[in-house]
Amino acid sequence: MAGPEVYRAILTVHDFFHYVSREMKTASVEPYINSTALMYALNAPHRREAARLAAGLTPHYREDLSIFTVYATPAVEYPAGPRIVGGAPLRVDIGGEVVKLTYNSVDETLAVSMETARRLNVPKQGAYYKYTPLTTFKFYTVGGRGPGLIRIGKKLAPARVSYIRLECSRRSGVFSPSHPVSLVDLDGYKVLGGVWVNIPPYPILVDAALRGDYFDCGGEKVIVPPPRVYVNVKP
């Protein structure tokens, strides 16, 4: 197949999943997964090159992005409806809900009174909001496809990913991407509109209107990864 190598990817988590957007005792979620998390998961052969635990815990996102050969856009949760597993819809509408899971190891009222009155060393209290298993997200890849089974998120939840290659042509002008756009991917683009969502490590732009190069894939529009950021991605 001639043309750029662009895929529509459907990701379905198979465990409770959260990609933390904000955390102050309660870790909340947005219906998005940032592209950095996806690229670390999809570029499995390069993850060892990007691991730097021996040098400390400071992330080196810019350096790591230059290593990866598969680019991924941020993912957005599929609308409520049949769940997608392996590219096929389930007949039962499950997944897609956000549930609250606490990590209090003692009763909250007792722990607060103990901590206030006696200043004792008691377990921290808090909660995570997580998506239920079989929640589905959609994103796009450029330069190739990743594995069909990955681990994603803070707790490395297992997920299945199916890919459909799209017939695309490269164009330039004003367009609205069919996906959210990470702040780091706007190099070379003029932003004409959109809504910023704060989600680590970089904010993402939702419902964007941009001017620049893009792939037109039969109505679906995907940004061209900035070559100065993704030097190893070959569309």
| 51 three-state secondary structure | coil
Give me the number of domains the chain comprises: 1
187 inside domain: no
Confidence of residue 235 (pLDDT cuts 50, 70, 90): confident
Domain presence at residue 33: yes
Task: Flag whether 189 is in a domain.
Answer: no
Q: Which stretches of the chain are assigned E, i.e. beta strand? A: 6-13, 20-24, 26-29, 32-33, 71-72, 75-77, 84-85, 88-89, 98-102, 127-131, 136-142, 149-152, 157-166, 169-175, 181-182, 190-197, 204-217, 220-223
> Per-residue pLDDT averaged across 41-68, rounded?
68
The predicted pLDDT at position 233 comes to 93
| High-pLDDT (> 70) share of the chain, % | 66
Band (159; pLDDT cuts 50, 70, 90)? very high
pTM: 0.78
Which segment of 44-48, 114-118, 208-212 scores lowest on mean pLDDT? 114-118
Report the pLDDT value the prediction gives residue 81, as an integer from 0 to 100. 47
pLDDT average, residue stretch 21-26: 50
- Is residue 132 pLDDT above 90, yes or no? no
DSSP state of 88: E
Average pLDDT estimate for 192-214: 93
Mean pLDDT score of the chain, rounded to an integer? 79
pLDDT value at position 111? 52
* pLDDT recorded at residue 91: 44
Handedness of CA 210, 216, 220, 226 (dihedral sign): negative
Q: Is the pLDDT of residue 137 over 60?
A: yes
Q: Read off the pLDDT band of 230 (50, 70, 90).
A: very high
Is 186 inside a domain boundary?
Answer: no
Instruction: Give the C-alpha distances (Å, rounded to integers) separating 213 from 35, 142, 174.
Output: 19, 14, 9
pLDDT value of residue 167: 96
Report yes or no on 212 lying in a domain: no
151 lies in which domain range?
A: 6-167
* 69-100 residue pLDDT tens: 999 999 998 764 444 455 555 444 445 566 66
Kindly indicate the confidence band of residue 169, based on its pLDDT and cuts at 50, 70 and 90. very high
Is beta strand 181-182 parallel, antiparallel or unpaired with respect to 204-217?
antiparallel
Among 220, 191, 196, which Cα is nearest to 206's? 196
Q: Is residue 228 part of a domain?
A: no
Q: How confident is the model at residue 198 (pLDDT cuts 50, 70, 90)?
A: confident
Q: Rounded distance, CA 143 to CA 227, Å? A: 12
Asked whether residue 117 carries a pLDDT value surpassing 70, the answer given is no
Residue 235 domain-assigned?
no
Instruction: Examine residue 226 and state whether it is found in any structural domain, yes or no.
Output: no
- Residue 156 has a pLDDT of 84
Reply yes or no on whether the pLDDT at 133 is more than 90: no
